Amino acid sequence: MSKCFICKSKSTKIILDLGESPVANNLESDMSRSQEAKKYPLSLRKCESKCSHIQIGNVINQEEIFNDYLYMPSLSKTLTNHLKEISSDINNRFEFNDKSFIVDIGSNDGTFLQSASQFTKNTLGIDPAKNLSKIANEKGVKTINNFFSNNLANEIKNNYGAADFIVSTNTFAHTPEINDFAEGLSTLISDNGVIIIEIHYLGSMLDDNSFDTIYHEHFSYWSLENLDYLFKKHGLKIFDASVIPVHHGQLRVYISKSNYYKKTSSFKELLESEKNNDLVGKKLNSFCNNVYKVKDELLDLFKDIANKGEEIYGYGAPAKASTLINFIGPSNLKNIYDKSELKQGKFIPGTSLKIKNPNEIKKDCPDYIFLFAWNFKEEVINELKFKFNFKGKVIIPIPELDIITIK
């Protein structure tokens, strides 16, 4: 039986079964290899000990997932602006100076550190994806190609000194070794330094029925209570927390070693709200039951479109598209558009669905576009309407099924 990532209890159980699915971001250029991609059980597991942590049911080797990674925030205007906002927030709230040492864990293609460089040139990125680390270094963003760990934290501290700021956006859920990761943060941060972490928030996932957020590279699904419990074990204190709009509701937490920063009312209110709403109890159980209702609803819609003889294409090939497609199994989805050149010409894992350049929308003239990247709804609909001249219907699957007509 799988152990809990936090407390190591063996008392865990499967609470949601999504069948089998390939590694979501392992896109093949060959259709037959894509169709034959190895599939793994995809499920959620809950710790039945006191920590009640929610984690992936089946753990896959990290190197299989992250060695060659195709997600880049620089391709989204929404995300690029968001990362700029983080660097401005740090400067306005805590003040950079030209000697401030800032480390970005899960630095991807260096987008955040490029923004932070307007305040300090003393930056360092860490990312396990070889292709993205190469892109970042070619941009002039110094990046170590490795998984973050306590050992690496010690090496960095010895070579560069303690970090004044550590930022990690959408990375903390990507490791099963969460105690080692947390200990590494404690090792690397200076005594009065600040750690800022953003992660997909369990509360938002439950509110939005966004089960497509569940895939193998997301090892943990975090509540504020779980995070607070974990970091306390490693001598760290969350002093501020809030749910922010990006990705339809992420959790942002501010962490420090010292008592210099007082806990905010926002932190206290969010923690209290989780307890009052029984987040990992009744609310979690309701979410698990709703997943199968969403599947039936979407299958009925695909069937209705097929019966009318109309064509449906997808838009956006994020990892969540793989979860949705492999779980629901729509047979009449044609292909998928995505503006990432790294993904174009490849196939959604486990399928024959090819990823195409959105410039082909005008030629294909689909009747419907199924928006897999629903968390960027406003940005994508604007592009479909004004950049790609799409006229037809856009299906928004989550948080509630909605169909928008673009004329």
Total of domains in the chain = 2
Last residue of a domain, one of 276, 309, 327: 276
| CATH number of 313's domain | 3.40.50.720
Q: Which residues are registered as beta bridge partners of 200?
A: 250
Half-sphere exposure of 11 (CA within 13 A, CB side): 6
Residue type, 279: L
Residue 122 falls inside a structural domain: yes
Q: Is the pLDDT of residue 1 over 60?
A: no
User: Per residue in 201-228, pLDDT tens?
Assistant: 999 999 999 999 999 999 999 999 999 9
Residue 357 falls inside a structural domain: yes
Q: Is the pLDDT of residue 377 over 90?
A: yes
Structure tokens at 377: 């709804």
User: Per residue in 53-62, pLDDT tens?
Assistant: 999 999 988 7
Element housing 169 (H / E):
strand 163-169
Residues 328 and 208 both lie in one domain: no
CA dihedral 88, 89, 92, 97 (to 10 degrees): -60
Q: If you average pLDDT over residues 146-153, what whole number do you get? A: 96
pLDDT category at 151 given cuts 50, 70, 90 is: very high
Residues 260 and 171 both lie in one domain: yes
Residue 241 falls inside a structural domain: yes
Domain that holds residue 363: 296-406
Q: Is the pLDDT of residue 181 over 60?
A: yes
User: Per residue in 73-118, pLDDT tens?
Assistant: 666 777 788 888 888 888 889 877 888 999 999 999 999 999 888 8
Residues 228 and 315 both lie in one domain: no
Residues 151 and 269 both lie in one domain: yes
Task: Tell me the angle at which helices 284-307 and 319-328 cross, rounded to the nearest 10 degrees.
Answer: 70
Q: Which residues are registered as beta bridge partners of 168?
A: 197
Identify the CA nearest to 330 among candidates 348, 356, 357, 355. Answer: 348
User: Per residue in 112-139, pLDDT tens?
Assistant: 999 888 889 999 999 998 988 999 999 9
Backbone angles phi, psi at 389, to 5 degrees: 50, 40
Residue 157 falls inside a structural domain: yes
